[in-house]
Homo-oligomer: A and B are copies of this chain.
Amino acid sequence: MYYIGLDVGGTTFKAGVVDESGKILVKDAMPTGIERPYQEIIADMAALCKKVAADAGLGMEQIASIGVGVPGMFNNRTGRIPFCTNLGWHDIPFVEEMKKHLDTPVYGDNDATVAGLAEYIAGVSAGIDNSVFITLGTGVGGGIIINGRPYSGAHGCGSEIGHIILKMDGEMCTCGNEGCFERYASATAIIREAKKAVAEHPESTIMEKCGGDAEKINAKIVIDAAKEGDETAVKVFNGYARALAHGIVSIINMIDPEVIVLGGGVSAAGEFLLEAVRRELAPIIFFKTMPYARIELAQLGNDAGIIGAAMLGRK
């Protein structure tokens, strides 16, 4: 059998046909057009599913299920999407709407959860039954695999790893709380700290790389400068790695997974990031003589969304 995965973003959505092993056979994308009524958007999603199946030379009866990963929440019991902020969706009857166009069973989950599932099925955490996936992007997302299944909690609100508290009374978060892990472990945190640092150290090569305009600083600029040994950038980056390691300690002390997978934009820093996080983590591990989670980089990149969503329906 084959599966279709839908990866939904605020700008485009992508669909792909995936085989049992998690390999993408065919994929395609369409603009989301979030200004439109959800019925129209979902009709397009159904149409794209049919198109990729046809492109793969398959009839819809050969598709076991369709899975969708959304930047928000998905309730598989009701088939509704309670929240999907990027699309402005609140309490949308997603499955009901898809069923107007298709007969195939539809499942869904949060996009970071789905990416974690993809890495579990076909990526760096393949076959490892307990893992946590962390996306380090504008924000921080999380996907938890427990006993080989995506874990989203009793109300579908779990694995919001970006919003565990890292520093009570710390930086104000977009969620209304203070001190969320996301405020310290996102690309946004690197940018914020780099702006502070270059104000004191305008000689930093960060300033060169952003053409002298601190408003143009992004995480890649800071990481590149750190890789080249720029002292100010190294300090910002090490502070970032330290905060990330402290959040990882909370994950380890609560869930103790076998692997923690780092994905998202910041993970493009590669081994440079891994080495820093592993170095910061070792001295703050609780059980110092016991084995603990390996820290690894995600392998599937942008395909993780399609693969993981498709695999939601695999038994």
Contact = CB atoms under 8 A, between A and B. Distances in A.
A297 interface: no
A164 B163 CA distance: 13
A155 B292 contact: yes
B256 A152 contact: yes
A153 interface: yes
B166 A254 contact: no
Interface stretch (A43-51, A195-203, A282-290): A282-290
Interface of A: 73, 82-83, 129-130, 142, 144, 146-147, 151-161, 163-170, 175-177, 179, 184, 243, 246-247, 249-258, 284, 286-287, 289-293
What 9 A-B pairs have minimum CB-CB distances, sorted nearest first? Answer: A153-B256, A158-B256, A154-B258, A164-B250, A160-B253, A130-B154, A157-B256, A163-B253, A167-B168
Contact of A160 (B129, B160, B286): B286
Chain A contact surface mostly: loop
A292 B82 CA distance: 14
Contact of A147 (B147, B179, B184, B247): B147
Nearest to A184: B168
Contacts of A292: 155, 157
A166 B168 contact: yes
Nearest to A132: B254
A141 B228 CA distance: 44
Contacts of A286: 157, 160, 163, 175, 177
Given A167-B167, A168-B243, A287-B73, A253 B161 contact: yes
Contacts of A146: 146-147, 151
Contacts of A159: 254, 256
A143 B2 CA distance: 40
In this complex, the member of A164, A167, A254 whose beta carbon has the largest number of chain B beta carbons within 10 angstroms is A254
A254 B158 contact: yes
Contact of A254 (B167, B184, B255): B255
B164 A167 contact: no
Given A144-B254, A153-B255, A153-B256, 10 more contacts: A146-B146, A146-B151, A155-B291, A156-B256, A157-B290, A161-B254, A164-B250, A165-B249, A176-B284, A250-B254
